[in-house]
Structure 1
């Protein structure tokens, strides 16, 4: 454990009455369960505010993920920590990314840095110690050009002018012709052009040297020197940056070897070395650009302008100027500019760009715009729309509920970009391997440098062999093997509406043998209906329902909302009593006051404990009958009188049955449903959807314990809605949230987010993960195999030229192999 984060609880949870409150306990429990968190505790001393202290391992749990989890629980820590993500130029491979990361880490106040070969930088910094301006200055010194800001600094605000850029930031994207690093003066393919010119000069020099008789001796040498210039230009820039950081990497080795060849008079071999190395690098950068473009394509889904109606006037404005409450007009076949809800018109909208749904979804206006405006997250799916999706044949008007940089699409782009920078278990292994392997090879090369003392050969030959071993042993392919696959896999998943937050969940997902599912909203539709109203002790059915509706109308629990909705339909225009002072009894029910009497509504298990009066025999019998028939039950009691029970039933999802069959066919041997419902109800639903194990009667803390138990036996995923299930999801190897496009909390708390409210995307995600793991294994095998072959081969006499050719060829091979993930197809769609 190497990191600690302290947060003032009054800032983190401003409405918390004291440190003994259950909200704080739940937050501590959720964070403690997460892999990578060593310990969470409260610091309470008289001199300072009460603080929450989190000890965590940044290698396993990057700070952005920790921030998301804490923020989802109500924290506000952006006053101290800045956070931004940029697209950049000048980072085209893993070694360069590491160089930039280490240079930024050297700045005081920089907490975490993630630079990727895909051209993205994520930076977390402490505002009390450094500023964004200092970070920008360091990047300029490293010849890294800043392009589009993917995620603005949280505290600096969301409005950086009409273009959404901070002051002084160039307002242009990469590849727009503007040269950020002043090294791509011939366009984005400058490095490739230089490599080809190097090859041409090498060829000309060789031809003059060997075929033209009587030519001046300086002519072929001049051609070789020109080849050195073009072949070593980019390599020299990177080597200088590495040496400033006291790093000795492959770029430096290549220059030393080329300089040594020149010193020995072997100009042609030195030029060949630089040609092969620069050509390999240029092709590697070009290939990695393909994966980078897949990420950038996400950001271009949203339109640049929106048509809005303000004060009765219609005008076209940049999407950055849209504000919450604006009415946007979307014509047929146009992309939607923002998240919101439909207030006028009907149409079928293609949501595939955000949710991955293959069939357009019919959208209708909300029934109550005022209620939708008050609670936008509660708007039904048939009226909710997302930025970047494509309107069908009908014109519609929507009311904006999120600004352009806060939309579901913007969050996906930000989180996918962050995911690139978060290392997988295999990448952490290769990093550890390199830390041991590289010094060992350096020692071996030094020993070989003095081989002429032992072996009867000239120093020239010993020097040449030592340089060849250095070149052959450089683990370039190994360095890029995993990042290239993770980048491609994350991009491919996002294109199909699956957000995977980094290499770790991407790898773990494919190795799962057990998956736990929450019941409500995951295996079922999440829209329970009242099926039975059973009054007892002479209570009128209308009185029972009216009291239940009045109390549950104060709650936002799905079961409460179901009672309110169906109860109002049954009661029609009947007057309701007035309920007040509602309190939630987590996982059990609610209590409120009606006409001076205390009312309890909840599970039968709530009664007879913690001061709540026990149920009478008739109410107990009614509950038993309802549960035997698979109903979810709610008991209503007023004062000392049992009023009766209400039975509800949720509809199992048809897609869940298909998804579960596919998962079982993919080798997921154990699937468990966990639910707070009675065991009989849980068993009824599990039998219908095809799950073998059903664990019912679980309180929220019981769900956490259940997942911890499963995780102790094997890797396990937890699938839920990301809100009530957050602690259980945090305890799993992989937390998976469904329907995340409509839930900020689900997006922030899950390791994997299925943007659509459809379990059918889970088998795709598991299949992609398994394919990614296979690609990573292949890449690592090829990388290590080439090194294992080349090192002894160069010791035995293979020259630098062939060694570089094989070395760069293997690097290019692993990148191209990783890019195959961009073409991954869902097997279910191939057979459909």
Structure 2
């Protein structure tokens, strides 16, 4: 169970015990309506197949305990397993019981058939068929009764009525066979859906139960749940890392594939993040804990996948809404198939038999299960590769993307910007003080220490690498997308691009600006990002020098762009606040179609809106923090490298847990594969229904063959959806 609060609005994910039979979503829709009727509940998404309820509610109006009470009154069992994880033992026990019921049903069906063939005692045949009907129809009857309690009908009701109809006309074997295949298909579907969920929950089992914590100078084995933030633990070669943290000493490489999907171990040294459940390789590390066990990256991944599984895809929502009217239509068709022939004095038994056969053939079991079997498998497969889809809707959206907009810094490039040049203008003095290159860098670093911009961090790192004495700065101010200012040792220092100096609130001219801009243009022509440094006096703002930086293109960026084109993306754009020349060089190297440079954050949003108008379906790929508005505006927002970033997890529709560009075409390719799977499933499901109905009306297809066709198509679409668990690009 997970809860996140923003002011008075909270979200919660509750895991529930699946109830009902084949078609659970009619009951789910009824529960959703009941929950939304509670004062203070803003949203409720219920999925009995996934075993999840996702809620958004106002905690100043209602409480989670009150919502739970309503859920329990509805007849739904809430799982109270630790940290919201599914009680796997309960699930497995339930699956074993269902399987046993299937076995008893099969035994009763065969025993009844053999007894009848051998003209054995009628009581033996009756008891045998009775066993088949009781155990084969148990779960379907429970589901049908629960649905009827809420004034709805579903497929379970159709199956029970068809089996009872067969018994009524003296065809107990056909009814028993229907119930056997019906219950067997249910078990196979539960296994398929359960496997997609277990694929995610198995991640938590990777985390050790205890950590070697340093307390009072000694190593103590402490259960991970009892380890507090800021405590230190020790990791030796070959150990699994128990908790999220930051390395304080030691060097090693860590296999993070279980969390991020990265195939190559990642180097770790002091200051680097490590994540619980990953494997330390050859070195020893001391780590400071940054998150408790329940808040670890793996725990958050699981909770967000649970949320994703509760949010049904648009196709699934449409099918769920149409299920009840479709079932009512099948019941009406069945009634007409009985009434109309009887009005023309046709014999009752064959008429009723054909009507029951039509009911079975027309039941949309395969249609109902086709979407969740595929979408939940896709979500599970992606999460195992370090790609988190935050709902079935986004899996479908990934299949439709025609254009992709990339942020540059930290997405296409490493974001590890390095200071390459720092120079002072010739013969420049400030109030009689001659400025040296080292003093220029020290003053710039003093101001930039207060900024989170990647160029600011590179400036500070550059000063530290050169062991410069960086003074303190006060009165820091930032102009978004242009520059910063601060007071250092009594001097007001300005750092920014050429546009920044048009915004300085002073009546005095900017001395040396033309020469400075000319230098910037020269540096930018060399592929370097550069800024001017100026010092303000009573008379002028003096350009005293400039700083230049370079950024490194991520490995595989060009291959990633080529892969996107291969899967059908038409147009690729790069959006950046950097200058045009630098951006153009990178775009040409990668193979990007269009470059939009020197952008403010709000301008990125405008361009994404423009791309949506031009191409319809647009994805925005960024870091999930600076690009949050653009991510929210796009059809699909994709955040890069968000394993330890809360903001990215909240902002984007798709989260890439690692900085691996190849996961982008993987995500879009998986979306397209899911769409193809859905189309295939619909062709199978609707094709089987149409073929069986046509054959019943023209050639008198017997009930056993209709049962085989109906249940067979359901199993086929379930297994076809399950194939997505093994999707690879």
Give the TM-score normalised by structure 2: 0.91
SS for the counterpart of 2:477 is: strand
* Cα distance change, pair 275–406 in 1 and its aligned pair in 2 (3 A): same
- TM-superposed CA distance for 1:245, in Å, is 1.0
Output aligned runs, 1:307-706, within 5 Å: 307-366=212-271, 383-434=272-323, 437-536=326-425, 538-539=427-428, 540=435, 541-570=437-466, 572-573=467-468, 575-609=469-503, 611=505, 615=510, 616-639=513-536, 640-706=541-607
SS for the counterpart of 2:573 is: strand
Tell me the residue number matched to 1:112.
44
Aligned with 1:235 (options 140, 156, 159): 140
Aligned with 1:142 (options 51, 61, 75): 75
SS for the counterpart of 2:625 is: coil
- TM-superposed CA distance for 1:123, in Å, is 3.6
Structure 1, unaligned stretches of length 5 or more?
Answer: 1-63, 152-171, 367-382, 827-832
SS for the counterpart of 2:404 is: strand
SS for the counterpart of 1:260 is: helix
SS for the counterpart of 1:526 is: coil
Tell me the residue number matched to 2:431.
none
Tell me the residue number matched to 1:794.
696
Encode CA deviations 1:538-566: one digit per residue, 9 max, x unaligned. Answer: 33323322221111111121111111111
* Cα distance change, pair 126–101 in 1 and its aligned pair in 2 (3 A): farther
SS for the counterpart of 1:358 is: coil
- TM-superposed CA distance for 1:610, in Å, is 6.6
- TM-superposed CA distance for 1:591, in Å, is 2.1
Q: Which one is further off, 612-621 or 671-680? A: 612-621
SS for the counterpart of 2:499 is: helix
Aligned with 1:754 (options 638, 656, 671): 656
SS for the counterpart of 2:280 is: coil
* Cα distance change, pair 247–207 in 1 and its aligned pair in 2 (3 A): same
Q: How far apart are the structure 2 equivalents of 1:606 and 1:415?
A: 41
Encode CA deviations 1:486-518: one digit per residue, 9 max, x unaligned. Answer: 111111111111111122222222332321111
* Cα distance change, pair 406–752 in 1 and its aligned pair in 2 (3 A): same
Q: Which one is further off, 521-530 or 608-617? A: 608-617
Say if 1:104 and 1:138, in contact at 8 Å, map to a contact too.
Answer: no
* Cα distance change, pair 728–406 in 1 and its aligned pair in 2 (3 A): same
Q: How far apart are the structure 2 equivalents of 1:536 and 1:436?
A: 79
Say if 1:85 and 1:414, in contact at 8 Å, map to a contact too.
Answer: no
* Cα distance change, pair 396–411 in 1 and its aligned pair in 2 (3 A): same
Say if 1:92 and 1:118, in contact at 8 Å, map to a contact too.
Answer: no
- TM-superposed CA distance for 1:461, in Å, is 3.6
Tell me the residue number matched to 2:18.
90
After the TM superposition, which segments of 4 or more aligned residues of structure 1 sit over 4 Å from their partners? Answer: 91-94, 612-615
Tell me the residue number matched to 1:174.
87
Tell me the residue number matched to 1:829.
none
Q: How far apart are the structure 1 equivalents of 2:573 and 2:563?
A: 15
Aligned with 2:707 (options 801, 804, 810): 804
Q: How far apart are the structure 2 equivalents of 1:272 and 1:501?
A: 41
Say if 1:94 and 1:117, in contact at 8 Å, map to a contact too.
Answer: no
Output aligned runs, 1:258-337, within 5 Å: 258-337=163-242
Q: How far apart are the structure 1 equivalents of 2:501 and 2:666?
A: 44
- TM-superposed CA distance for 1:150, in Å, is 4.7
Encode CA deviations 1:775-831: one digit per residue, 9 max, x unaligned. Answer: 1111122112122223333344333332222111111111101111112223xxxxx
Say if 2:311 and 2:391, in contact at 8 Å, map to a contact too.
Answer: yes
Q: Which one is further off, 607-616 or 318-327? A: 607-616
Q: How far apart are the structure 1 equivalents of 2:135 and 2:328?
A: 30
- TM-superposed CA distance for 1:130, in Å, is 4.9
* Cα distance change, pair 535–345 in 1 and its aligned pair in 2 (3 A): closer
Tell me the residue number matched to 1:776.
678
* Cα distance change, pair 585–802 in 1 and its aligned pair in 2 (3 A): same
Aligned with 1:99 (options 23, 27, 31): 27
Q: How far apart are the structure 2 equivalents of 1:671 and 1:134?
A: 46
* Cα distance change, pair 618–294 in 1 and its aligned pair in 2 (3 A): same
Say if 1:253 and 1:467, in contact at 8 Å, map to a contact too.
Answer: no
- TM-superposed CA distance for 1:750, in Å, is 1.2
Tell me the residue number matched to 1:155.
none
- TM-superposed CA distance for 1:584, in Å, is 1.7
Tell me the residue number matched to 1:371.
none
Q: How far apart are the structure 2 equivalents of 1:667 and 1:557?
A: 35
Say if 1:89 and 1:174, in contact at 8 Å, map to a contact too.
Answer: no
Aligned with 1:819 (options 703, 707, 722): 722
Say if 2:26 and 2:152, in contact at 8 Å, map to a contact too.
Answer: no
Say if 2:26 and 2:324, in contact at 8 Å, map to a contact too.
Answer: no
SS for the counterpart of 2:196 is: helix
Q: How far apart are the structure 2 equivalents of 1:92 and 1:409?
A: 31
- TM-superposed CA distance for 1:580, in Å, is 0.6
- TM-superposed CA distance for 1:104, in Å, is 5.5
- TM-superposed CA distance for 1:390, in Å, is 0.7
* Cα distance change, pair 554–767 in 1 and its aligned pair in 2 (3 A): same
Tell me the residue number matched to 1:204.
111
Give the TM-score normalised by structure 1: 0.80
Say if 1:601 and 1:634, in contact at 8 Å, map to a contact too.
Answer: yes
Tell whether 2:615 aligns with 1:729. no
- TM-superposed CA distance for 1:117, in Å, is 1.7
- TM-superposed CA distance for 1:457, in Å, is 0.9
Say if 1:93 and 1:285, in contact at 8 Å, map to a contact too.
Answer: no
Q: How far apart are the structure 1 equivalents of 2:592 and 2:86?
A: 49
Q: How far apart are the structure 2 equivalents of 1:388 and 1:519?
A: 31
- TM-superposed CA distance for 1:765, in Å, is 2.0
Structure 2, unaligned stretches of length 5 or more?
Answer: 429-434
Say if 1:92 and 1:119, in contact at 8 Å, map to a contact too.
Answer: no
Say if 1:113 and 1:124, in contact at 8 Å, map to a contact too.
Answer: no
Say if 1:92 and 1:285, in contact at 8 Å, map to a contact too.
Answer: no
Tell me the residue number matched to 2:620.
718
Tell whether 2:10 aligns with 1:81. yes
SS for the counterpart of 1:338 is: coil
Q: How far apart are the structure 2 equivalents of 1:191 and 1:782?
A: 26
Q: How far apart are the structure 1 equivalents of 2:633 and 2:22?
A: 32
Tell whether 2:647 aligns with 1:745. yes
* Cα distance change, pair 329–656 in 1 and its aligned pair in 2 (3 A): same
Q: How far apart are the structure 2 equivalents of 1:624 and 1:187?
A: 70
- TM-superposed CA distance for 1:595, in Å, is 4.5
